Amino acid sequence: MLDVDATRRNFNAWVRSPAFDAHFHSVVKAPVWPFIVAPVLILSLVGIPFGIGLLIYGFRARSAVKAARRDAHLAFARHEPILCGIIIANKQLLRQPGAVAPALLVGGFGPQDFDRAGAIARTAEIIGELYGEDPAQVPAELRAACEMVNDDTYRADRRRKVPPPLDIDPSLQLFDAVLQGGFFDSNSVDSPFVVCMAAPGPAGNILQLPSNVAVLHPPHPTQQFIHHQAPAQPPPLVAPHSDNLDAVENHISTHLGEPERVFHELVSTTVHIDVHIVPATPERPWVSLVTSGMSDLPMTVPEGAEDWRFAELMIRVPADWPLGQEEFKNEANYWPVRWLKQLARLPHEYGSWLSYGHSIPNGNPPEPFAPGCPFTGFVLSPPWSGGEAFATLYLIDGTPVHFWSLVPLHPSEIDFKLKFGSEALFERLAAAGASDLVDLARPPVA
């Protein structure tokens, strides 16, 4: 994900350039007020000692800033490039050219790979939702985290451990930092990620890097946008027996509720896909549709992504969504089930894979799923219900099976995702109060 070596090489060139001087002095400023107040005090005669003292303070502060600039390259040479997620930042301010603003980031040292990026994104989203909340009104287990995130007074060099139960990755830390709007791609702050140089350890300074200095590689760029087209060879007509059915059914029942019924396939190819229907309840006023059978075969994943070979899919629909056999004769009612089955089988038929942030359009160019439906594609996200425990099922041999939710997208949202990435899209959906729950009246967020 983050090419640490290439980023460091670019940093070493940038830190010696005039552009770094401009950035450094926009973030680290010598105080100007002593040189304004001191002459007034000196001219008043009675304030001469105080005025001279202020001048001495001002000159010392300027000298300290100059010394810090001289030492910046040596200091940051001992730092490491790390990927960070934005938890709190004044994004309206950062949209202005040249603006700087304090921010709270989450990141960690060590491998800067796809797994780390996923942990950062989930941690930033969960902690960010606590900002502005009253600690006394949140569940007891979240109170410490809520108090921490609402202590938003910027303190240089401050670092804090992510408190449980939000410590998805125990190595992640919270960083106080200063961000500059012009350092984002296309001067956009919609991306939830920034790359910084930070000193390893429990304390130390952290410096945001411009987008042209940081080198980010999509984990598997050829897999991020999956077009539906004919497979190279016809799939087998007989699906293998499901070895994971009981485990998947128990997992669904434990975390989402007991399925009311199951749509069984009469004829299957490659894998036998069933769709489990979890009915609405007062606590969960929606219907969850969840597959089983997709995880009976491993997907073809790139090197380094072996832990993501097994998956199942889900989609949530309103409690009153028509789910009867007669109603399914109308594609406007059936398309969620149809796409669950198609996408659960797709990676096995195409020698591909489906995982976090992958986009699937309905054709090229994308077309609506059904008459009257505004959506033309999906993006895969972690489930928005069921919690972290539901997101991953561990089979008896320890193999992880990841559950991904299908989030229906408008055409403009698919374009936005391709330009700015899935994290930026998820952030906009959350800000608009949207989720993976199908809402045909939902306006586009991009």
Structure tokens at 444: 């586009």
pLDDT beyond 60 at 228: no
3-class SS at 349?
A: helix
Distance (Å, rounded) from C-alpha 147 to C-alpha 132? 10
Q: Is the pLDDT of residue 289 over 90?
A: yes
Q: How confident is the model at residue 14 (pLDDT cuts 50, 70, 90)?
A: confident
Instruction: Say whether pLDDT at 374 is over 90.
Output: yes
Measured CA to CA, the distance from residue 416 to residue 301 in angstroms comes to 25
> What pLDDT was estimated at residue 23?
64
Report whether 289 contacts 340 (CB < 8 A): yes
Q: Give the rounded distance of the alpha carbon of 148 from its chain centre.
A: 21
Beta strands in 93-223 (DSSP E): 100-107, 159-161, 173-180, 193-198, 206-208
Structure tokens at 424: 């930026």
* 8-state DSSP, 96: S
Beta strands in 299-351 (DSSP E): 311-318
pLDDT value for 226: 41
Q: Which range is least confidently modeled, 5-9, 98-102, 405-409?
A: 98-102
Q: pTM of the full predicted structure?
A: 0.52
Q: Is the pLDDT of residue 446 over 70?
A: yes
Peptide bond into 39 cis (omega under 30): no
What is the DSSP code string of 43-80? Answer: HTSTTHHHHHHHHHHHHHHHHHHHHHHHHHHHHHHTSE
Burial (0-12, 13-18, 19+ Cβ within 10 Å), 398: exposed
**Which pLDDT tens digit goes with each residue over 82-120?**
999 888 888 778 777 778 888 999 999 988 876 777 778
pLDDT band at 265 (very low <50, low <70, confident <90, very high): low
CB distance 141 to 166 below 8 Å: no
Region 417-424: what's the mean pLDDT? 82
Q: Residue 219 has what DSSP assignment?
A: S
**Spans of all domains in the chain:** 79-217, 222-431
Mean per-residue pLDDT for 311-327? Answer: 93
Return the higher-pLDDT residue of 239 and 385. 385
Residue 73 has pLDDT above 70, yes or no: no
Mean pLDDT confidence for 26-47? 62
Cα–Cα distance for residue pair 350/229, rounded to 1 Å = 9
CA distance 324 to 331: 12
The label of the residue with tokens 């108090």 reads 147
- Phi and psi of 201, rounded to 5°? 120, 180
Does the pLDDT of residue 364 top 80, yes or no?
no
Check residue 397 and report its DSSP letter: T
Report the Cα–Cα distance between both ends of the chain, in Å, rounded.
Answer: 25
Q: How many of the other CB atoms lie within 10 Å of CB of 353?
A: 21
Q: Give the number of other CB atoms < 10 A from CB of residue 442.
A: 17
pLDDT of residue 10: 87
In this predicted structure, what is the pLDDT of residue 34?
61
Percent of the chain with pLDDT over 70: 79
Q: Can you tell me the mean pLDDT for 141-152?
A: 85
User: For residue 210, what pLDDT is reported?
Assistant: 85
Identify the H or E element spanning 253: helix 245-255
| Residues with Cβ within 8 Å of residue 151, at least 6 apart in sequence | none
